[in-house]
Amino acid sequence: MIFGRVKPLDAILATAAKKSLHRSLGPFQLTMLGIGGIIGTGIFVLTAEAAQKAGPGMMLAFVIAGFVCAVAALCYAEMAAMVPVSGSAYTYSYAVMGELVAWMVGWALVLEYAIAAGAVSVGWSGYVVGLFQHLTGITIPKTFILGPIDGGLINIPAAIIALVVTWLLVLGTKESATVNAVLVAIKVAALTLFVVLALPVMNLQHFDPFAPLGFAGISAAAASIFFAYVGFDAVSTAAEETKNPQRNMPIGLIGSLGICTIFYMLVAAGVIGGVGAQPMLDSAGNALPTGSTELAAACSAIGDAKVVCSKEALAWTLREIGWPQVGNLIGLAAGLALPSVILMMMFGQTRIFFVMSRDGLLPSAFSRVHPKYKTPHVVTIMTGVFVSIFAALFPVGALADISNSGTLFAFAAVSIAVLVLRRTDPTRKRPFRTPAVMLVAPIAALGCVYLFFSLSVYTVSLFFGWAAVGLVVYFSYGYRKSNLGRGIIDTHETDADAPPLPVPPVD
């Protein structure tokens, strides 16, 4: 039986037995860790997308996405505290719901990490190209800085940054905690400066109508900007190092998500109040789809004179309200900080493939480590090539939505896994227990499903197509080659063969 192939939790926990970590993190440290992990890419690159889908109502969309993240995070934290080993949601699912579900979660995480890396590469390109053009006065043809859907041919800067990060990962370069902290500080400072300059010139007339496309538009925007919150698992996975996790984990998770939601709403208010955020409509009064050739053509016709058309929404807003040099600084901050995000997402992707390969579900070449650099070079290069292709050809909004579909599926699976394990293994030691789990876990799962189906029909169809491909790969290879299916249970107590763990992911 496929569903009978459940990896023994005791075997998985043996991996962590020799990795006992000192409990030193309190609520303040956890909250700061969460803020550093959450704030970043999404708010920089998806504000224009949210405006096109919801108009000023994107402020409410941030609240909805943040709430779903909060309840999902509480479930994620229980699993992370119980199973503090490599593989994230893939490993949790393997221990609770069996190999097939674990495979599908791991397959979905490919969308979360690899496609998200492509989305960030495109976002980086928008800010860096905008900065270059405003500093030099040289206009680069759209043919070479936009993908075909956006009215260009190929996004060369996005492809290049993805390949550069791939090269760094093969060499084994990883960020230090100090560098990571500096980059987080740069992003937070840039967004704070934006809020300070944009809010005083707010025009309340720009908020009317607040929801031009109704609640459906707000839901669609919430599904897209869910991307802006991914990174909260930096807190969830720190349960092993937390003092009194039952008290401090909820404070850190809810506190960081709450602060980030308020911060995001202030940034959104600055954009809306400063330059307006009404969506572009067709002749019938319907919103033009984000990431479509129709929207690209409409924006080109008006000279990209609306924030919904901008590839660098925050920098563009500041230039429009009379702060061109500060707008350039925002572009510089994004240019400096976003490559680290691409690195972390691609690292996460390679690590998921590494663990799946080590379990026998993927060919052993995926877990092959370079003899000199000690990195999983085969899977890293393969991932980098695909990320580069996605970044070169697709718009940021489409990539972010596809990434969200994988993330939402994985989080829903973890939320269900928490409930299942409470029933099947109630006596298991839980350093952190999800509060009111019979209420929180179903809300988390349903919230993820709600946002999933609020994505575009194209995105949902693409996800199910990807899932179908995954099932073909599993039954043609993984089912037969699985270590567990062949009676091999590896514990990998020291994880000595795995690539080194990175610093917490920074969205």
pLDDT recorded at residue 174: 56
Local confidence band at 42 (pLDDT 50, 70, 90 cut-offs): confident
140-149, 194-203, 379-388, 480-489: least confidently modelled range: 480-489
Average pLDDT of the chain is 85
Sequence-ordered list of residues with C-beta below 8 angstroms from that of 59, at least 6 positions apart, any chain: 265, 268, 269, 272
Question: What is residue 231's predicted lDDT score, i.e. its pLDDT?
Answer: 74
Q: What average pLDDT does range 21-25 have in this prediction?
A: 64
More confident residue, 127 or 187: 127
Contacts of 346 (CB under 8 A, 6+ apart): 113, 114, 117, 162, 165, 166, 169, 380, 383, 384, 387
Q: Is the Cβ–Cβ distance between 50 and 219 less than 8 Å? A: no
Helices 214-225, 396-424: inter-axial angle, 10-degree rounding: 80
Q: Residue 173: what pLDDT?
A: 59
- Residue of 216, 225, 195, 218 lying closest to 119 (CA atoms): 225
Token code pair at residue 191: 């967004």
Using CB atoms within 10 Å of the CB of residue 138, give its burial: 0 to 12 exposed, 13 to 18 middle, 19+ buried: exposed
Which pLDDT score is estimated for 196?
95
Whole-angstrom distance, CA of residue 305 vs CA of residue 132: 19
Q: Report how far apart, in Å, the C-alpha atoms of 68 and of each of 119, 339, 468, 497 are.
A: 22, 27, 27, 36
Radius of gyration of the chain (CA): 22
Mean local confidence (pLDDT), 25-48: 81
End-to-end CA distance of the chain: 39
Among 25-34, 266-275, 406-415, 422-431, the range scoring the smallest mean pLDDT is: 25-34
Instruction: For residue 175, give Cα distances in angstroms to 4, 179, 230, 329, 342.
Output: 40, 6, 19, 23, 12
32-36, 342-346, 385-389: segment of lowest average pLDDT = 32-36
Mapped onto helix, strand or coil, the DSSP state of residue 215 is: helix
CATH label, 25-481, candidates 3.30.420.40, 1.20.1740.10, 3.40.605.10, 1.10.10.10: 1.20.1740.10
Structure tokens at 500: 């080194």
SS (H, E, C) 118-155: HHHHHHHHHHHHHHHHHHHCCCCCHHHECCHHHCCCCE
Specify the 3-state DSSP secondary structure of 287.
strand
Residue 285 structure tokens: 């009064």
Whether residue 34 contacts residue 232, with contact meaning beta carbons closer than 8 Å, is answered with: yes
The answer, yes or no, to whether residue 24 has pLDDT greater than 80, is no
Whole-number Å distance between alpha carbons of 362 and 479: 10
Structure tokens that stand for 117 in this block: 């890396």
Which tokens hold the place of 120?
A: 């960030």
pLDDT of residue 501 exceeding 80:
no
Rounded to two decimals, the pTM is: 0.86
pLDDT at 36: 75
Q: Which region among 102-116, 131-145, 377-391, 477-491 has the lowest average model confidence (pLDDT)? A: 477-491
Among residues 306, 273, 348, 430, which one has the least CA distance to residue 106? 348
* Predicted pLDDT at 497: 43
83-97, 136-150, 157-171, 219-233: range with lowest mean pLDDT: 83-97
Beta-bridge partners for 287: 281
Which of 221-230, 269-278, 478-487 shows the lowest mean pLDDT across its residues?
Answer: 478-487
Higher pLDDT among residues 474 and 250, named by residue = 474
Whether the link from the prior residue into 499 is cis, omega within 30° of 0, is no
What is the spatial distance between Cα 437 and Cα 71, in angstroms, rounded to a whole number?
10
- Cβ partners under 8 Å of residue 140, min gap 6: 129, 132, 133
Q: CB within 8 A of 457, min separation 6: which ones?
A: none
Confidence of residue 151 (pLDDT cuts 50, 70, 90): confident
For 357-377, the pLDDT digits (tens) are: 888 899 888 878 888 888 888
